[in-house]
Structure 1
Amino acid sequence: MLAISNVSFHFGSRTMYQNASLTVYPKNRIGIVGHNGAGKTTLLKLVHGDLTPDEGSITMPKGCTIGFLNQDLLSYQTDDSILSVAMEAFGPVLQIQAQIDKVLHEMETNYKEELVEKLATLQEKFEAMEGYTIKSKAEAILAGLGFKNHELERPLHSFSGGWRMRVMLGKLLLMKPDVLMLDEPTNHLDLPSIQWIENYLSTYEGAVLIVSHDREFLDRAINQTVEVSQGRLTSYSGNYSFYLEERKLRAELQKNAYENQQQKIKETERFIERFRSKATKAKQVQSRVKMLDRMDMIEDVRNDNPEINMDFQFNQQPGKVISELNDFDKGYDEKVIFKNANLQLMRGDKVALIGANGKGKSTLLRLISGREEFDKGERKGGHNVITAFYAQHQLEDLHVENEILDELKQAGSDKTEQELRGILGCFLFGGDEIFKKIKVLSGGEKSRVALAKTLISEANFLMLDEPTNHLDIPSVNILIQALQQYLGTYLIVSHDRHFISHVANKIWYIEDELLKEYPGTYLEWVEWKTRQDQEKELLEKLDQEEGNTTDKPKKEKKKHVNIGLKEWQKKMKKAKSEMEKFEELVMELEEKKEEVEGSLGDPEIFGNTDKLAEVNKTYQEIKDQLDEATENWEEWTMQVDELEELKPE
């Protein structure tokens, strides 16, 4: 479908790609990964034709269509409704519709046989192109991306940049291009929309190329990973987690080869230095000099996940309660967000506030911080609480003429220049980079500076609104480590599941105009929420079967579910049998997986490309089978648990 062959590309004197190659096939869902500045977005622009390779070629079949979601689309503005913008994807169908409208208008004053025939032909063509379904298709896509029905007729320009980007994404999905390219799509999506996109892409017929910093999204959305590094494209036949495992094995081999080569170079240089002046050794010396000149140098392994150690110190320790809001209401115009809601944030809490956009997450942060007032309610601030607030608008507050180091000096901490240099090193600013001016930094680099300023502010309570937006994966890992070492309290709004699963010990979510709390990690919350939804679905199904649609209390419903001991025993027997069957299969596949992983470390296999490819294929097959078996085992285990709760008395 798409062939990138020996492509080289330069920005001035900087080499972005050198003899890079990649073949993309239909149904490939490829994640493009690499550190900031490696050239991920550049690759997409080369494929799209926005940039032209200096050498090599990018070829595709005639008629192959490409759809590209990029950050430039944020600037697109129009007075047309978002439904109209999305339906622009059906250009040829809309042209037929316009011709039909024109013929109908002519027929109002000139009813001729030839017009009737023309109308019939156009309507037949319109129906063949599924023209009568395009509006419903557009509405369904926009609904999946989080838009409400009453918003579909609003003009595009009335939405914020992130929501406009969702409209453009919806338009691309409706176009169904042969190659769909997405540059950081999750920056503009909330969690429900991200999950919807994952499901949509799983059955996409064309090829998909994704640049993203969201590890969980990559794991669920892709089946191949391509690493951009040192001007080359290296392909891995699996999702992001597979890539990490495989890359670690390859890195160990590369590190050993690099160290062996360095040792050989040192020994050769010592021989040359020792016998350079001896005429009897001149031939051997010259031979070794030529050998060094001809040697293909092995690169040292780059560490993209450095471990950091940050020293957080507070001048004041806060009281037990950080913040408390009682019986508060908040709404905008006719929209009610909170009604008689309550919250209590305690010292040491590490809270992630999750949910769909528009539910009131950012509003809640502003209410807690005092940046916004209630319609009704009481706010109780904690004793000795020092708050630092981070949001995307903080990037605009950076002083563009300052150098990075000077910007941190003005953050209000008592840290020395050496300590600030160490902190900047933790945030991936090394060497002379700390003297760069803010105005030349990328969005991701500015985010790192703003986050560093927030973390060194000596605040004992942090409020972070979407802190991972614009950060690449190594930078997200740095932030995770920093927050794990932070001794204070924080409240984070984020849709990055990998991030919040590593930093939160409590989950807050907004439901029924109330703030609700789950006292555990994100993964525990997901498991609990899944059980709750399944139980609710089971109860509703049984109510429908019984013809009972009354809204009974939950305890009465559970009693109603107990339709008989024999039926319960039958269901329990089957559920336990299936659970035990899949449990045995999981154990068997885990043993096979460990055996194959052990063979991956065999140098003989790594030195043989064919054997390595065969082992990798076997490994992926076993891993896929294990994932499926584990999922089945978990489902049957949950069903056993649910049946235990519904056991007849």
Structure 2
Amino acid sequence: MLSINNLSYFIGGRALYENASLHIKPKDKIGLVGLNGTGKSTLLKIINGDYQPTSGEVQKAKDCTIGFLNQDMLSYQSEDPILEVALEAFKETLALQAEIDRVLKQMETDYSDAVIDKLAKLQDRFEANEGYTVKAKAEEILEGIGFNTADLMRPLKTFSGGWRMRVMLAKLLLEKPSLLMLDEPTNHLDLPSIQWVENYLKNYDGAVVVVSHDQEFLDNCIDTTVEVSHGTLTTYSGNYSFYKEEKKERMEIQQNAYENQQQMIKQTEKFIERFRAKATKSNQVQSRVKALERLDRVNEVVDDNISVNFKFKFSQKSGRDVVTLDHVSKSYGDLKILANTSARIERGDKIALIGANGKGKSTLLRIIGGGEKIDGKVSHGHNVIKSFYAQHQLEALNVDNEILQEMVQAGSGKTETELRGVLGCFLFSNEDVFKKIKVLSGGEKSRVALAKTLISEANFLLLDEPTNHLDMQSVNILIQAMEQYEGTFITVSHDRHFIKGVANKIWYLENHQIKEYLGTYDEYIYWKSQIKEEESPTNFTQKEKKEQKKKRTNTELDEAKRELKKKGQFLADVEDRILKLEERKSTLEKEMSDADVYSDADKLEKINQKYQVIKADLLKLNQSWESLVEEISTLEETIS
């Protein structure tokens, strides 16, 4: 569908990409990963045509359409309600609707056969475009990513940048391009919305390329990982967890090859040095010199996974009770956040406060920190020293300070050597510590602000979305820091990988009350799934089945029938492709068993490469076939 061939892209004298290649097939779900600054977002812009490569080419099929969600869309403004903005995805269908309305108006005075025939053709095209369901689809997606029904008619300009980005995402999902490219789509989504997008992308008909620092998100919605590193693109045929394991194995093999080669090089160099002056050995010496010059050098492995050791110092340990909330209520006008709720934080608690946006998580964090007026009482325990991290702390950094200077002014009393050690843990080493705050990226500023929070000697931390703007490496460093932290903390986060790594207790807000689960995030998710399963009616009596069937509308049944027909056609296409691949696989197996082939190593290797590709394609197609059969079975039950 789309091929990147021998791509090179230079910024100044630096090669961001050099002879990089990638092939994107229909239905591929690709996660683009790598350290910040390696060029992930740049690659998406090259594919989209925003940037032109220095050399190489990007080729795409004629019928390939591209939809691109990027951070530049944050600035988009409109007076239109968000539902209408999302519906712009159906330009042709909306134009048909407008034309139908015009013809219906004309028919008030003109009943000619030509006008009636025109209306019939327009309505046929409108129905073929599923025009009667576009509004329902737009509402479903907007509500799926977090908007309330009442929000749908609010003008786009009345929403913050993050919420406007959600509208742009909804519009792209409705357009259904054959290649959907998403640059950090989870940055502005809460946990329920992230999970909704995951499920949507897993079942998306086209190809997807996504850049994200959310490891759990990548695990749940991609089947291929492409690493951007040292100007190249390396493909791993699995999700992010598979990539980590596979990369570890490849690195071990590469390191062994490097060490073996280095040993051989040293032995050869010793031989050259020893016999360079001897005429009887001159031919052998020259032969070895040329061999070294021709040698394809194996690079030493550079491990991007950093293990850090934080030394937290508390001037005093807090009492057993850190914070007590007693019959707390909080409202903003008619908007109720908390209602007569109580809770307690004890020393050693590592709490993740989770849930949908708008429920009051950040407000609760500020209440605990003493920054909100409330009804009720919030008490802080004996010797509690708190430190609060939130996004606004990035703005509190003195932009004219150097990084090290900013850390010194934090007033922790640590020496320059100790501060350099902390900054090294947060990826600021050597001369980096003398960079001005104003030249740092958003992620780098976040790391500085987090470092300041962690050196404060506080025994109680309040962290509001600490992983925002951090890449995967930085998130993993923060997890290690929080694992080594012996104090108490509560964090608001939508990053499940981070929550899993640090939390021993889960808080969530329900019916304006603080609810608590005493366990890890994985245990909490399992507990919630069990409750949902128990509450879900799975066995109906015959009478109940009839009642359920009566409640379905004709529209829903028609939609299910159309979907069944589409899935059936797709299943037939998949079966045809499987049959052709099986025949091709059988042919290759016969070729490999031929004596002339298996005695020729090069020929055998080429055929084996084709064979492995076909095996992988067959595996994916058979998985698609199984999924389709299940979906068709479910649709048939719905219709019956």
- Superposition TM-score, scaled by structure 2 size: 0.83
Aligned match of 1:18: 18
User: How big is each residue's C-alpha offset from its partner over 1:16-42, in whole Å with a ceiling of 9 and x where there is no partner?
Assistant: 111111111111100111111111111
Letter paired with 1:299? N
The superposition leaves residues 18-74 of structure 1 with CA deviations (integer Å, 9 ceiling, x where unpaired) of 111111111110011111111111111111111111111111111311011111111
Q: How does 1:423-434 map to 2 (within 5 A)?
A: 423-434=422-433
How far apart are the structure 2 equivalents of 1:147 and 1:544?
Answer: 36
Counterparts of 1:526-565 in structure 2 under 5 Å?
526-538=525-537
Which residue number in structure 2 is paired with residue 403 of structure 1?
402
Match of 2:148 in 1: 148
Q: Corresponding residue for 1:572?
A: none
Aligned to 1:461: 460
CA RMSD of aligned residues (A): 2.9
Paired amino acid for 1:6: N
Q: Could you list the per-position Cα deviations for residues 380-406 of structure 1 after superposition, in whole angstroms to 9, with x for gaps in the alignment?
A: 122221111111222222222222222
Q: Which amino acid aligns with 1:482?
A: A
State the SS of the aligned residue for 2:359: coil
User: In structure 2, what is the equivalent of residue 246 of structure 1?
Assistant: 246
After superposition, the Cα gap between the structure-2 partners of 1:408 and 1:540, relative to the gap in structure 1 and judged at 3 Å, is: farther
Paired residue type of 1:26: P
SS in structure 2 at match of 1:309:
coil
User: Map of 1:116-195 to 2, 5 A cutoff?
Assistant: 116-195=116-195
Q: How does 1:422-571 map to 2 (within 5 A)?
A: 422-538=421-537
Measure, in 2, the Cα distance between the counterparts of 1:286 and 1:165: 64
Larger mean Cα displacement after TM superposition, 305-314 or 100-109: 100-109
- Distance (whole Å) between structure 1 residues aligned to residue 326 and residue 85 of structure 2: 43
Secondary structure at the counterpart of residue 490 of structure 1: strand
CA distance in 2, matches of 1:617, 1:222: 19
CA distance in 1 between partners of 2:543 and 2:15 (Å): 65
Q: State the SS of the aligned residue for 1:251.
A: helix
* Structure 2 counterparts to residues 277-426 of structure 1, below 5 A: 277=277, 281-374=281-374, 376-426=375-425
SS at match of 2:63: coil
Question: Displacement, 1:325?
Answer: 1.3
Distance 1:189 1:61 in 2: 32
Amino acid across the alignment from 1:262: Q
Structure 1 pair 621/326, CA: closer, same or farther in 2 (3 Å)? farther
- Segments of 5+ residues of structure 1 without an aligned counterpart are 548-607, 629-649
The letter for the 1-side match of 2:493 is S
Note the C-alpha offset of 1:228: 0.8
Once residues 194 and 27 of structure 2 are traced to their aligned partners in structure 1, the CA distance between those partners, rounded to angstroms, is 19
Q: What residue in structure 1 maps to residue 550 of structure 2?
A: none
Match of residue 630 from structure 2: none
From the superposition, tell whether residues 341 and 542 of structure 1 become closer, same or farther in structure 2 (CA, over 3 Å).
farther
Q: Which amino acid aligns with 2:407?
A: L
CA shift, 1:442, in A, is 1.8
SS at match of 2:135: helix
In the TM superposition, residue 238 of structure 1 has moved relative to its aligned partner by 0.8
CA distance in 2, matches of 1:92, 1:621: 37
TM-aligned CA distance change 1:502 to 1:48, over 3 Å: same
Give matches, 1:257-276, under 5 Å. Answer: 257-276=257-276
By how many angstroms is 1:107 displaced?
Answer: 5.2
1:154 positional shift: 0.7
Q: Deviations over 1:498-532 (max 9, x none)?
A: 11111000000111110010111111111111111
Distance in 1 between the 2:95 and 2:508 partners? 46
CA distance in 2 between counterparts of 1:616 and 1:312 reads: 54
CA distance in 2, matches of 1:540, 1:414: 66
State the one-letter code of the partner of 2:228. V
What is the DSSP-based 3-state SS (H/G/I as helix, E as strand, rest coil) of the residue aligned with 2:536?
helix
Cα deviation for residue 108 of structure 1 reads 5.5
Question: SS of the residue aligned with 1:152?
Answer: helix
Query: Cα gap change, 1:530/1:541 in structure 2, threshold over 3 Å: closer, same or farther?
Result: farther
Residues 193, 5 of structure 1: alpha-carbon distance in 2 compared, 3 angstrom cutoff: same
Distance 2:276 2:456 in 1: 59
1:287 and 1:262 map into 2 onto residues whose CA distance is: 18
Q: Distance in 2 between matches of 1:351 and 1:419?
A: 28
After superposing the two structures, state which structure 1 stretch, 384-393 or 246-255, moved more. Answer: 384-393
> Cα–Cα, structure 1 residues 106 and 614, in superposed 2: closer, same or farther, change >3 Å?
closer
Alignment CA distance shift 1:45-1:544 (3 Å) = farther
Question: Aligned pairs, how many?
Answer: 566
Letter of the 1:174 partner, please give it: L
- Counterparts of 2:468 and 2:40, CA distance in 1: 17
What 5-or-longer segments of structure 2 have no aligned partner?
Answer: 547-604, 627-640
| SS state at 2:491 partner | strand
| CA spacing shift, 1:254–1:61, aligned 2, 3 Å | same
**Per the alignment, do residues 207 and 621 of structure 1 end up closer, same or farther by CA in structure 2, a change over 3 Å counting?**
closer
Residue of structure 1 in register with 2:27 after alignment: 27
Distance 1:546 1:121, change over 3 A: closer
C-alpha displacement of 1:237:
0.8
Give the 3 Å change call, closer, same or farther, for CA 287–436 of structure 1 in structure 2.
farther
Read off the aligned partner of 2:335 and give its amino acid letter: K
Measure, in 1, the Cα distance between the counterparts of 2:232 and 2:158: 42
CA distance in 2, matches of 1:279, 1:434: 55
Q: 1:539 to 1:125 in 2, by over 3 A?
A: closer
> Which residue pairs with 1:86 in the alignment?
86
Specify the alignment match of 1:550 in structure 2: none
**Letter matched to residue 528 of structure 2:** K
Paired residue type of 1:439: K
Whole-Å Cα distance in 2 between the matches of residues 538 and 476 of structure 1? 40
Task: Provide the rounded CA distance (Å) in 1 between the counterparts of 2:425 and 2:615.
Answer: 37
Give the match's secondary structure for 1:317: coil
CA distance in 1, matches of 2:320, 2:200: 46
Structure 1 position 224 matched with structure 2 position 224: yes
Distance, in Å, in 1 between the alignment partners of 2:209 and 2:14 is 24
Distance 1:443 1:282 in 2: 60
Moved more, 13-22 or 401-410: 401-410
The answer to whether residue 46 in structure 2 is matched with residue 46 in structure 1 is yes
Deviation at 1:458? 1.1
What amino acid sits opposite 1:456 in the alignment? I
Cα distance in structure 2, aligned partners of 1:138 and 1:72: 23
Tell me, in whole angstroms, the C-alpha distance in 1 between the residues paired with 2:543 and 2:414.
Answer: 65
What secondary structure, in the 3-state scheme, does the structure 1 residue paired with 2:153 have? coil
1:544 deviates by 9.9
**Amino-acid identity (%):** 61
Query: Residues 621 and 96 from structure 1, CA distance in 2 versus in 1: closer, same or farther, beyond 3 angstroms?
Result: closer
Per-residue Cα deviation, 1:314-353 (whole angstroms, up to 9, x for no partner): 1122221111111111122222121111111111110000
Q: Which amino acid aligns with 2:410?
A: A
